[in-house]
């Protein structure tokens, strides 16, 4: 199948490219960028005039809910939503049922994703058996089975001794470890940011120190063990400066922030709105601004933190609701808003959503190099759409943006040179 | 032809009512009655009657808001005042005073409230105006003034000083 | 970063409490929190309670105002005292009242809050009085009930206990007549206290001159001054020139959670004694929501002394609950 994408503005920071060009795809790979020979015969020709042609996005942190939680979502439903949102590669968390701590579960997930035929799924294996934080998982076997990293997320981390050994062992096999920095003792029964709003609503708070104490611990252990560590889902301003400082001396530490954390604050919790019950919690406007600065400066990549839920999960008094938002489909418009607000340019957007995460994971995706896999999304930055049942593919409708107008629409997505989504 | 009620001398009517109450008491051999006025207009009339008659027991006042039969239709009157009934109702001779007797529903509510305080020996009803059109089998023992008004018209007492009757279209 | 100050979802915030609990005419539809209500609404509640306070003088301690209405006390968290005052208030209004301890029934069998509400609505309940250990539970239920049903919050988590706060305001008004010259100190476990939050909002709405909280930092919520209070760490300075002292109840489990060393040390620092009472104004009024831990929160001599209005609080609680039930039920029928 030959595909020709014509007249689009091609943005590819890895190849320092930002120019209106044609791209020719054949055999699942990018064959020509710019000088497409006259002899190239396209089976499909896509007119990308006034549109942007970007490397497909790579998500570092999503829950696909399968196996075990099919009442919330399935790999098929969520990878379909992913490609409609411009994602071509999605890393899924190991908190499945059974937990992704054996090669057979990894294989099951890869098979399901293959059968669905939408985005590439790259599983994160469990760092400890059953994510219980006591016994190390068979990381080497999980890596061979296709896990691109080991993770304890979204659970909190094991005790410092187990964590230290897990990092030592992972580093032996050069395995990336993805951790959610959260001190459970400090978090306690907290469910929103510990501050003015938690005080007013009488909701148990999660102090900023629940994040920063965990980060300090992880940074020290990463330094001592030499492990490659990725911190996922950062929420506070203090964490931004801690991570930036650590990266200055240790280039094996990376981090991401969920896109909605760059827009929402504790104020949006309003009067117990369970769709704003997130983990990590939405914090203050100062925290949000520092997170944006961290993204602009390249301290962070951006992940979705996608957590689709069935409706009942949010139908309870606030502290009894499950945390998390269904967020894959709002990431791109939320990032585009930072570009249209003049806070960053297109090349930075692509780097935070595609090439940055690919580099962290060590995957040859997130770029538009010749002979690389044709994982591409084409976006119309002007089109607006309403977040409602007509424009939503994820099984989870637990988004704080329901009913909200978004600017920026993915119009085409290609995975391995196959058109898997077209608006 | 309807009366222009604003020109009516309310104090003169109350003067006459006081005499009527006095003879009613004597006729029925009532000693030391307990007078109770219905908020708000009835209480104004009762205050004057109480003074003119020189009654020894302090004046009682009741607000029938919690006893109305139309609560579920119109809700609570937010200007509701506490009812104050001095001493016991049990075994007393009550003189109940209201400004306007119309459908009889206010008096029904007032009687219910009084009976929740105890069992009086008798209740005498005195009203400033009886405008007819009763919906319940009630009548007043002492009537200051009878008015024949069309159903569209409302009559009410304004006060406390001076006491003036007013009509307005409903 | 200044150009990104507009969070993307500002226009999609959940309706705030005052929208949810008021109807289009600005009258109470539910009573969930004192926060966001106007001075007029709080004053009206106290005025109506004043009218109800004479009902207990009647031989038949009952008015027929809510005759034929069904009130369901939904207690997801046990509290005999609060439940009893609501039951008594409902009965004095001639309503039919049933009390359900969900803590020991349906919820334990896995029935969700929403299922419970739906079932009771099908039995034609007109009002739910809700007590729940989760903050926001009463709001959640109010968002999901049928339009004719009123919800009264009888305490949700650490969030609000508005009828307790209003009975305290009613008690203060009866003793001090008005609020604008009052300095009020609330002493104790502010962090876990729904009563304190509702009191702070109510006092500020009613125009109290100054509201203070006195507690160790472990029992204060973060950014507590954002609630509109001045923070003190000791009784000597905190009680200086104070007109009203509100003591909060100290739960035993705070010692287990490493929030306090011991009851003994708490009493030493924050317990109210006759000697410490002297820091406040001579005519200071002392309040406590009960039941008192004598010798932990205050001396028996203070609790039973001339400044204490603790028993009046209990009496006033019934009138306030009658007022709130009548106001929320009454207006609901307007036009419908």
Position B161 scores a pLDDT of 86
Cα(A304)–Cα(A199) distance, rounded to whole angstroms? 29
Q: In what order do the strands lie in the sheet with A87-92?
A: A57-62, A87-92, A120-126, A149-151, A177-179, A229-231, A253-258, A301-303
Query: Which tokens go with A312?
Result: 């009942």
Residues linked to residue B127 through DSSP beta bridges, in sequence order: B98, B143
At C221 the pLDDT is 96
CB B85 within 8 A of CB B62: yes
In this prediction, residue A85 has a pLDDT band, given cuts at 50, 70 and 90, of very high
The answer to whether the Cα torsion of A132, A138, A144, A150 is positive or negative is positive
Assess contact for A60 and A303: CB atoms under 8 A. Answer: yes
Question: Which segments in chain C show pLDDT lower than 70?
Answer: 1-18, 104-110, 331-336
Q: CB-CB: which of A205, A262, A271 is closest to C16?
A: A271
Is chain C adjacent to chain B, meaning 3+ CB pairs within 8 angstroms? yes
**What does the pLDDT look like over C9-64, one tens digit per residue?**
333 344 455 679 998 888 899 999 999 999 999 999 999 999 999 898 888 899 99
Nearest Cα to Cα of residue A288 among C209, C10, C279 = C10
Cβ pair A90, A121 in contact under 8 A:
yes
- Segment 203-232 of chain C within 8 Å of chain B by CB: none
pLDDT score recorded for residue A199: 96
Q: Do chains C and A touch (3 or more CB pairs under 8 A)?
A: yes
Fold classification of A3-52+373-385+406-422 (topology level): Urease, subunit C; domain 1 (2.30.40)
Q: What was the pLDDT predicted at C9? A: 38
C113-142, pLDDT tens digit by residue? 888 899 888 888 999 999 999 999 999 999
* Inter-residue contact A307 to A313 (CB < 8 Å): no
Of the candidates A155, A137, A76, the one whose C-alpha atom is nearest the C-alpha of residue A111 is A76
Closest by CA to C304, choosing from C317, C290, C319, is: C290
**What ranges make up the beta strands (E) of A160-252?**
177-179, 192-193, 205-206, 229-231
Chain C neighbors of A386, CB-CB under 8 A: none
* pLDDT at residue A136 tops 80: yes
Q: What percentage of chain A reaches a pLDDT higher than 90? A: 97
Tell me if C224 and A202 make a contact (CB, 8 A cut-off): no
* Per-run averaged pLDDT (10 residues), chain B, 170 residues: 77 96 95 95 96 96 90 80 90 96 95 94 96 93 92 88 83
Across residues A45-62, what is the average pLDDT? 98
- Tell whether A343 is within 8 A of chain C (Cβ): yes
> How far is Cα C161 from Cα C199, in angstroms, rounded to an integer?
9
Q: How far is CA A375 from CA A75, A92, A365, A411, A414, in A?
A: 19, 18, 7, 14, 5
Residue A281 has pLDDT above 90, yes or no: yes
Q: Phi and psi for A196 in degrees, rounded to 5?
A: -60, -40
The count of CB pairs under 8 A between chains B and C is 65
ipTM: 0.89
Work out whether the CA dihedral C151, C152, C154, C156 comes out positive or negative: positive
Q: Which residue from C51, C64, C334 is facing B80, i.e. has the nearest CB?
A: C51
Mean pLDDT calculated for residue range A105-118: 98
Q: Which of C248, C269, C272, C274 minimizes the C-alpha distance to C187?
A: C248
- Written as six digits, the tokens of A240 are 């931004």
Q: Which two tokens mark B155?
A: 């009559």
Q: What confidence tens digit (pLDDT) does each residue in A139-193 have?
A: 999 999 999 999 998 888 899 999 999 999 999 999 999 999 999 999 999 999 9
Structural domains in chain C?
16-160+316-332 (3.40.50.1370), 162-311 (3.40.50.1370)
pLDDT value of residue B69? 83
Residue C107: the pLDDT is: 57
Out of C7, C112, C224, closest to residue A199 by CB: C224
With CB atoms and an 8 Å threshold, state whether C53 touches B76. Answer: no
- The predicted pLDDT at position C109 comes to 59
Cβ–Cβ below 8 Å for C51 and B76: no
CB A387 within 8 A of CB A402: yes
Helical spans, DSSP H, in A327-420:
331-340, 346-350, 356-361
> Smallest Cβ distance to C223: which of A195, A265, A320?
A195
Q: How far apart are CA A159 and CA C27, in angstroms?
A: 54
Neighboring chain C residues of B118 at a CB cutoff of 8 Å: 59
DSSP C189-237: --TT-HHHHHHHHHHHHTT-SEEEEE--GGGS-TTGGGGT-EEESSHHH
Q: Where are the domains of chain A?
A: 3-52+373-385+406-422, 54-361
Whether A273 sits inside 8 A of C132 (CB atoms) is: no
Q: List, as ranges, residues 163-202 from A with C-beta within 8 Å of C.
A: 194-196, 198-202
Name which of C14, C131, C227, C134 is nearest A204 in CA terms.
Answer: C134
* Right CATH for A54-361 from 3.20.20.140, 2.60.120.580, 3.40.1440.10, 3.60.130.10: 3.20.20.140
Contact B67 C48 (CB under 8 A): no
Tell me if B78 and C58 make a contact (CB, 8 A cut-off). Answer: no
Residues of C whose CB is below 8 A from B120: none
Q: What Å distances lie between residue C166 and A171, C62, C162, CA to CA?
A: 61, 22, 6
Choose the closest CB to B84 out of C52, C54, C326: C54
Neighbours of chain B (3+ CB pairs under 8 A): C
pLDDT for position B149: 86
User: What domains sit in chain B, N to C, each tagged with a CATH number?
Assistant: 5-169 (3.40.50.2020)
Confidence at residue B167, expressed as pLDDT on a 0 to 100 scale: 86
d(CA A106, CA A116): 15
3-state class of A254 per DSSP? strand
| Mean pLDDT (chain A, rounded) | 97
Torsion of CA B90, B95, B97, B102, to 10 degrees: 90
């Amino acid at each position: 199948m030959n595909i020709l994408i014509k007249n689009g503005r091609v943005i590819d920071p890895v190849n320092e490219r930002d120019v209106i060009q044609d791209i020719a795809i054949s055999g699942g790979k990018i064959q020509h960028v710019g000088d497409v020979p006259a002899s190239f015969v396209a089976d499909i020709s896509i007119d990308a005039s006034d549109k942007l042609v970007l490397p497909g996005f790579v998500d570092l942190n999503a829950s696909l809910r399968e196996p075990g939680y099919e009442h919330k979502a399935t790999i098929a439903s969520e990878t379909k939503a992913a490609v409609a949102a411009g994602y071509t590669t999605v890393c899924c968390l190991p908190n499945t049922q059974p937990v992704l701590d054996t090669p057979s579960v990894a294989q099951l997930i890869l098979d399901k994703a293959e059968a669905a035929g939408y985005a590439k799924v790259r599983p994160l294996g469990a760092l400890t058996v059953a994510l219980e934080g006591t016994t190390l998982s068979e990381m080497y076997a999980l890596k061979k089975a296709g896990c691109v990293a080991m993770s304890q997320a979204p659970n909190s981390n094991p005790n410092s001794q187990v964590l230290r050994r897990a990092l030592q062992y992972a580093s032996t096999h050069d395995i990336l470890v993805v951790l959610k920095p959260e001190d459970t003792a400090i978090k306690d029964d907290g469910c929103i940011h510990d501050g003015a709003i938690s005080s007013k609503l009488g909701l148990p708070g999660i102090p900023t120190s629940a994040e920063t104490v965990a980060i300090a611990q992880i940074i020290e252990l990463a330094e001592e063990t030499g492990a490659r560590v990725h911190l996922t889902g950062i929420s506070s301003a203090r964490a931004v400066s801690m991570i930036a400082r650590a990266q200055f001396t240790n280039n094996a530490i990376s981090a991401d922030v969920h896109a909605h954390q760059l827009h929402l604050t504790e104020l949006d919790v309003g009067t117990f709105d369970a769709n704003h019950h997130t983990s990590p919690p939405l914090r203050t406007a100062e925290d949000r601004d520092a997170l944006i600065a961290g993204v602009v400066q390249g301290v962070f990549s951006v992940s979705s933190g996608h957590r689709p839920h069935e409706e009942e999960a949010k139908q309870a008094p606030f502290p009894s609701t499950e945390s998390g938002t269904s967020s894959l489909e709002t990431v791109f418009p939320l990032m585009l808003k930072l570009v249209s607000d003049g806070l960053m340019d297109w090349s930075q957007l692509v780097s935070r959503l595609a090439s940055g995460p690919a580099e962290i994971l060590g995957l040859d995706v997130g770029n538009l190099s010749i002979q690389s896999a044709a994982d591409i999304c084409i976006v119309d930055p002007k089109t607006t759409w309403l977040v409602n049942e007509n424009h939503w593919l994820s099984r989870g409708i637990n988004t704080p943006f329901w009913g909200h107008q978004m600017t920026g629409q993915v119009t085409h997505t290609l995975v391995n040179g196959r058109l898997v989504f077209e608006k | 032809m309807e009366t222009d009620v604003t020109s009516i001398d309310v104090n003169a009517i109350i003067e006459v009512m006081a005499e009527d109450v006095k003879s009613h008491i004597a006729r029925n051999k009532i000693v030391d009655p307990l007078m109770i006025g219905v908020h708000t207009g009835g209480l104004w009339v009762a205050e004057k009657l109480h003074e003119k008659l020189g009654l020894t027991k302090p004046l009682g006042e009741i607000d029938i808001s919690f006893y109305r039969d139309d609560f579920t239709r119109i809700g609570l009157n937010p200007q509701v005042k506490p009812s104050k009934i001095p001493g016991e109702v049990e075994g007393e001779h009550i003189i109940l005073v209201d400004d306007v007797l119309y459908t009889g529903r206010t008096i029904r509510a007032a009687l219910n409230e009084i009976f929740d305080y105890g069992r009086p020996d008798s209740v005498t009803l005195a009203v400033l105006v009886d405008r007819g059109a009763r919906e319940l089998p009630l009548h007043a023992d002492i009537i200051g003034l009878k008015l024949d008004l069309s159903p569209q018209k409302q009559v009410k007492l304004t006060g406390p000083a001076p006491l003036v009757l007013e009509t307005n279209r409903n | 970063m200044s150009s990104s100050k507009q969070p993307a979802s500002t226009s999609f915030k959940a309706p705030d409490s005052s929208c949810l609990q008021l109807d289009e005419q600005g009258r109470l539809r539910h009573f969930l929190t004192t926060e966001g209500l106007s001075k007029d609404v709080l004053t009206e509640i106290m005025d109506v309670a004043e009218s109800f306070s004479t009902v207990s003088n009647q031989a038949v301690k009952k008015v027929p105002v809510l005759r034929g209405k069904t009130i369901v006390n939904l207690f997801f968290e046990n509290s005999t005292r609060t439940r009893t005052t609501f039951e008594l208030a409902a009965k004095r209004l001639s309503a039919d009242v049933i009390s359900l301890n969900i803590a020991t029934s349906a919820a334990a069998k896995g029935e969700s809050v929403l299922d419970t509400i739906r079932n009771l609505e099908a039995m034609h309940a007109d009002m739910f009085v809700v007590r729940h250990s989760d903050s926001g539970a009463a709001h959640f239920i109010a968002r999901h009930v049928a339009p004719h049903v009123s919800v009264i919050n009888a305490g949700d988590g650490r969030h609000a206990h508005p009828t307790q706060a209003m009975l305290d305001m009613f008690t203060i008004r009866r003793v001090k007549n008005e609020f604008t010259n009052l300095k009020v100190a609330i002493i104790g476990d502010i962090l876990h206290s729904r009563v304190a939050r509702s009191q702070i909002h109510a006092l500020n709405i009613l125009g109290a001159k100054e509201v203070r909280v006195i507690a160790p930092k472990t029992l204060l919520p973060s950014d507590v001054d954002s609630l509109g209070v001045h923070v003190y760490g000791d009784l000597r300075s905190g009680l200086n020139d104070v007109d009203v002292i509100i003591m909060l109840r100290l739960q035993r489990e705070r010692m287990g959670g490493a929030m306090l060393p011991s009851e003994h040390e708490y009493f030493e620092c924050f317990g109210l004694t006759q000697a410490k009472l002297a820091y406040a104004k001579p005519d200071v009024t002392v309040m406590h929501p009960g039941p008192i831990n004598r010798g932990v929160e205050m001396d028996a001599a203070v609790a039973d002394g001339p400044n204490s209005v603790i028993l009046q609080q209990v009496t006033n609680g019934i009138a306030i609950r009658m007022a709130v039930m009548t106001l929320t039920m009454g207006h609901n029928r307007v036009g419908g």
